[in-house]
Amino acid sequence: MSKSINEENKELLSAALACAITKRSDHDSVGASASVLHTRSGRSYTAGVIETDTNLLTIFPEQTVLLHALLRRDIPIESVTSVAPSTATLPLVLKILADAAARIDRGFSYTLAKPDGTIVFETGDVRHSLPGYTSPLSKLEEFCSESYKDDIITASNSLKEAALSGMQRHIRTKDSGSRYGAAVRAKDGTVFIGASLGSPDKRLGLHAEMAALALLLSSGRKQFTEIAIVSEKFPVTPCLFCGCCRQFISDIARKTGSAPKLTGYALNTDESMESSLSELYPNPWSSNTL
Ligand SMILES: [Zn+2]
């Protein structure tokens, strides 16, 4: 008899699927994937996939649940369980998870199930699924000594303050390198902070503003009104949004019916640059326009 994931995870994943953003339709979770991550502290985090028109900028739900745990310094991670319509993304996802386990120096389990809950892949320690893998990125020792700190939702009314808090949580990919932080305000006023999450495949890394938006969407909220960034790389002049993030924000804004204001802050001065999305990125690519 085939094994199934447990009822608790089934329920959590079914709710997470409703947070997915799929390519075909904003509200169609058929064909979507979702993940749940449990930590030793007893907390669990869920997320749905965020599919983008460009495909390259798609965020796997495993990346978002890792963000939840890592940005809160809520480790050790015990398990990640996902449902997906196919196993096509499995090798990429295994690398992301095995890399995280290697960097925090502790293995955790990974289970992948079909949408009906039937398990199609299971490992007790993601590191064993990629024998011999060592992360080229620096270890996250500093995370291991820290326990749960605070939330990735902030009551702060200042987006710069919230983005700075994101910058403090930046997950380094090497010992040097500039830290970035972001914050996004949902339509209901809730502010989510984000920090970049490095990946050994640089293409699979998440920029801070992508991370903040992924966390907002995983809460079930869709629309957002403002997004801001700050970085050590821009101490005096306003921080710029990179081209990938302009396309990503544009994709998500269109799918969620949002018209956000984008603000780049300078780290050490009062300089800032505020633009509407259409000013900053006037001709976004979309599969709908082809
Ligand atoms: Zn970017």
The tens digit of pLDDT for each residue in 215-256 reads: 999 999 999 999 999 999 999 999 999 999 999 999 999 999
d(CA 172, CA 196): 8
User: In this predicted structure, what is the pLDDT of residue 176?
Assistant: 66
Query: What is the Å distance from ligand 1's center to 53 Cα?
Result: 17
Q: Please list the alpha-helical segments (H only) found in 105-174.
A: 141-144, 159-168
Domains of the chain: 7-144 (3.40.140.10), 153-289 (3.40.140.10)
Question: Strand, coil or helix: what is 84?
Answer: coil
Task: Please state, for a pLDDT cut of 70, what percent of the chain lies above it.
Answer: 93
CA of 174 to the centre of ligand 1 (A): 18
| Three-state DSSP class for residue 262 | strand
Cβ neighbours for 139, distance < 8 A, ≥ 6 positions apart: 103, 104, 105
* Mean pLDDT score across all residues of the chain: 90
Q: How far is the CA of 202 from the centre of ligand 1 (A)?
A: 12
CA of 131 to the centre of ligand 1 (A): 32
Give the sheet arrangement for strand 224-231, strand by strand.
Answer: 153-154, 191-195, 180-186, 224-231, 261-265, 272-276
Q: How does residue 164 score in pLDDT terms, banded at 50, 70 and 90?
A: very high
Question: 49 forms bridges with which residues in the sheet?
Answer: none
Query: From ligand 1's centre to the CA of 211, what distance in Å?
Result: 10
Could you tell me the pTM of the whole model? 0.94
Angle between helices 208-218 and 159-168 (to 10 degrees): 100
| Mean per-residue pLDDT, 151-159 | 82
CA of 10 to the centre of ligand 1 (A): 34
pLDDT digits (tens, 9 = 90+) for 23-39: 876 445 567 999 999 99
